[in-house]
Copies of this chain bind each other. A is one copy, B any other.
Amino acid sequence: MSLLRSLLFPHSVAVIGATPREGKVGHAVLSNMLSFEGDVYPVNPKYEQVLGLKCYPSVLDVPSCEMAVVIIPARAVPHVVEQCGMAGVKVAVVISAGFRESGIEGLKLEREMLKAAQEYGVRILGPNCLGVANPRIGLNATFTATIPHAGKVGVLSQSGALLTSIMDWAYQMKLGFSAVVSLGNKADIGENEVLEALREDEGTAVVLGYLEGASDGRGLMRVARAVTRQKPVVFLKAGRTGAGSKAVSSHTGSLAGSDVAYEAAFGQCGILRAYSLEELFDIGMLLSAYPELKVRRVGVLTNAGGLGILAADACVLHGLELAQLSPSTIEQLKRVLPPAASFYNPVDVLGDADAHTYASALSALCDDEGVDAVVCLTSPQAMTDVEAVARAIAAVGSKKPIVACLVGGSRTEQGMRILRERGVPTYPYPERAVFSLGRVRTLREGWDEDEPVRFKVDRASVRTIIERALELRKSTLGVEHIELLEAYGIPTAPSVLTRDIDEALRAASAIGYPVVLKVVSPHISHKTEVKGVITGISDASELESAYSALMARVGRYAPDALVEGVLVQQMVEGREVVLGISEDEQFGKLLMFGLGGVYVEVLRDVVFRVSPVGRSQALKMIRDIRAYPLLSGVRGEERYDVEAVAECIQRLSQLAEENPEIVELDINPMVVRREGDGCVAVDFRATLRR
């Protein structure tokens, strides 16, 4: 059975460690639980009664108990969790701290607690967490001072302190919650199960989250894919930088995956990533009002030209359009606004506009079929009755999303309150209002649109190569094993590993000139550093001199290297790209794509995805690099075979998934020919896990 019922809709809750002593967590939790619609049982052997409720000496004594909230010293927790199991508790919310986060002893206690829980099938939220709340049924098993409003936002957080901030903010913003879940140490229940519960919960329309590190990145993607198809999910992921990640590990001991993997993963499974707490709040406010918002063409209404300009700028910068108003809308505006007003988007009602004028103009904009949403801006000018304007905006009955923005301070406070109370997302600055619309617009953009294809490949050959290498205790594979790519259907330039000049000459004439020579040595991993590649060899005599030159160079630059031979390879021409595999601790295999040479080395113009990827995602990878025009044929450039590259990315993805020993792989370069002519891998390097 899913976690949903016991975690968010328990019938009965025991508060273990309840106490009448004010200022104690056990007091705060029980006080908060007095609003619960179900049964509440304080548990504490010291008291007969707490806060007017009968108090039980042990959880074993309570009549029935689906959830237990545990607020007792850490050392007593394992035993109490065992009792919970015996008492039939389904979920224990362990608020107590003093576990893994506090060192070795705590880690032991956490393990003992888990063992007891698993024995009886008790699920643990926490430990070291703020608790859980579902304001719709009065469940508030937390110790926060802020009582959450009921609503449709589900929130989960890996930091209890941050959750306090979120709840306090939401209280002020009149934002209601369907669920508030503090994950704490995630000893048992993690973000994935909570996400799944929030997906099942029909009363949750939007999910907001604060995450420091995913416990199971692949699982997160799987769950999130299902959730985001039903309701928007916005996550703030901390630890974007090295400094931040360092702070993360000293804080909770969780392993922060590399940011590039999170960035890719969130995009692929439709999680909208907030890059700051403000963004989480701003986007959260918008989505809580309009969970199904779709917007591209924005109408802007203002009583201050300057604010209108700032909003117009922001629209363009965030990928939105200023709506083109229809003639009938403009007619309508001309009827309700003074002649000096601006009737084109942004519509300027002028500084002396009263509430009625605002409302009439706003209605006209909302009625325009070419307008998806309206941003309604107000500066508190001498003649402006801000509160009346706020009430008027809130009262406009419209199916169009309206976002308000009152720009000021002391004179706009009350108006903001009025609008928020009436459920209109309200921002202090025009740019943030528009930014939030812009971010929501991209909500579904990064999605995996199709399932990865399973190509028919020659997996056996690859297994043989890998296993032989591992038997020989080799952890790298070089260009001499480029056939590994062929086995997965990734075309390579024809090549032959040769031992002497005669073999090389034979190979070259079989392949056909021009050819390239590449030194092959287990001790030379970067061939260009020892000048171990010679290109553009156009006939046998050139081959002979190139061959001896190559040997001389290697002797000079890498005198101790064991040379296994020289690879003779067909010389191919086209645009160079790089494809790669790497491995991330949280998300497993990542795929990389970029343009070759300076684009990847110097400009770092590369993109990553979590593997596997389907065709549409592979094509998106290619389109996402800045230098994409160099492949797509715009501005006088040639069109290269992007489809062929996308197929190679998918095949590489399958290679990565089916051969876990490959921890790194570079196809650098892969040469892409003109559209329709395919692409071929020219050089190759892989690292295996021994």
Which residues of A are interface residues toward B (Cβ below 8 A)?
A: 23, 25, 28, 102, 143-146, 157-162, 164-165, 168-173, 210, 212, 236, 238-244, 246-248, 250-252, 276-278, 303-310, 312-317, 322, 340, 342, 344, 346, 348, 351, 379-383, 407-413, 428-432, 598, 601-603, 626-627, 629-630, 634-637
B contact residues around A408 at 8 Å (CB)? 164-165, 168-169, 172
Closest to A250 in B: B342
Copies of this chain, whole number: 2
Q: A276-B310, A309-B239, A340-B102 are in contact. Are A168 and B412 (CB under 8 A)?
A: yes
Q: A277-B407, A278-B428, A313-B239 are in contact. Are A247 and B164 (CB under 8 A)?
A: no
Assess whether B410 is in contact with A161, with CB atoms less than 8 Å apart: no
Assess whether A313 is in contact with B598, with CB atoms less than 8 Å apart: no
Complex-state Cα separation, A312 to B243, whole angstroms: 6
Assess whether A316 is in contact with B431, with CB atoms less than 8 Å apart: no
Complex-state Cα separation, A328 to B348, whole angstroms: 60
Q: A250-B344, A409-B169 are in contact. Are A601 and B636 (CB under 8 A)?
A: yes
B contact residues around A428 at 8 Å (CB)? 278
- Name the one of B251, B313, B637 contacting A342, with C-beta atoms under 8 angstroms: B251
- Name the one of B161, B305, B315, B380 contacting A304, with C-beta atoms under 8 angstroms: B161
Assess whether A161 is in contact with B303, with CB atoms less than 8 Å apart: yes
B contact residues around A244 at 8 Å (CB)? 309-310, 312-313, 316
Assess whether B168 is in contact with A411, with CB atoms less than 8 Å apart: yes
B contact residues around A164 at 8 Å (CB)? 304, 379-382, 408
Q: Which of A146, A173, A309, A430 has the largest count of B CB atoms less than 10 A from its CB? A: A309
Complex-state Cα separation, A410 to B627, whole angstroms: 48
Q: What 8 A-B pairs are tightest by C-beta distance, nearest first? A: A172-B409, A161-B304, A168-B408, A159-B306, A244-B313, A251-B305, A241-B316, A162-B306
Assess whether A380 is in contact with B170, with CB atoms less than 8 Å apart: no
B contact residues around A314 at 8 Å (CB)? 276
Q: Which of A312, A627, A636 has the largest count of B CB atoms less than 10 A from its CB? A: A312
Q: Which of A236, A277, A412 has the largest count of B CB atoms less than 10 A from its CB? A: A277
Closest to A313 in B: B244
A-B contact pairs, 9 of them (CB 8 A): A23-B383, A144-B381, A146-B411, A159-B306, A165-B407, A170-B409, A251-B308, A601-B636, A602-B630
Q: A306-B210, A346-B247 are in contact. Are A160 and B351 (CB under 8 A)?
A: yes
Q: A145-B411, A146-B411, A250-B342 are in contact. Are A276 and B429 (CB under 8 A)?
A: yes
Assess whether A310 is in contact with B277, with CB atoms less than 8 Å apart: yes
Complex-state Cα separation, A172 to B409, whole angstroms: 5
Assess whether B637 is in contact with A312, with CB atoms less than 8 Å apart: no
B contact residues around A276 at 8 Å (CB)? 310, 314, 429, 431-432
B contact residues around A240 at 8 Å (CB)? 313, 317
Q: Which of A165, A238, A598 has the largest count of B CB atoms less than 10 A from its CB? A: A165
Complex-state Cα separation, A495 to B276, whole angstroms: 57
Assess whether B432 is in contact with A278, with CB atoms less than 8 Å apart: yes
B contact residues around A304 at 8 Å (CB)? 159, 161-162, 164-165
- Name the one of B144, B171, B246, B407 contacting A312, with C-beta atoms under 8 angstroms: B246
Assess whether A243 is in contact with B322, with CB atoms less than 8 Å apart: yes
Q: Which of A146, A251, A306, A412 has the largest count of B CB atoms less than 10 A from its CB? A: A306
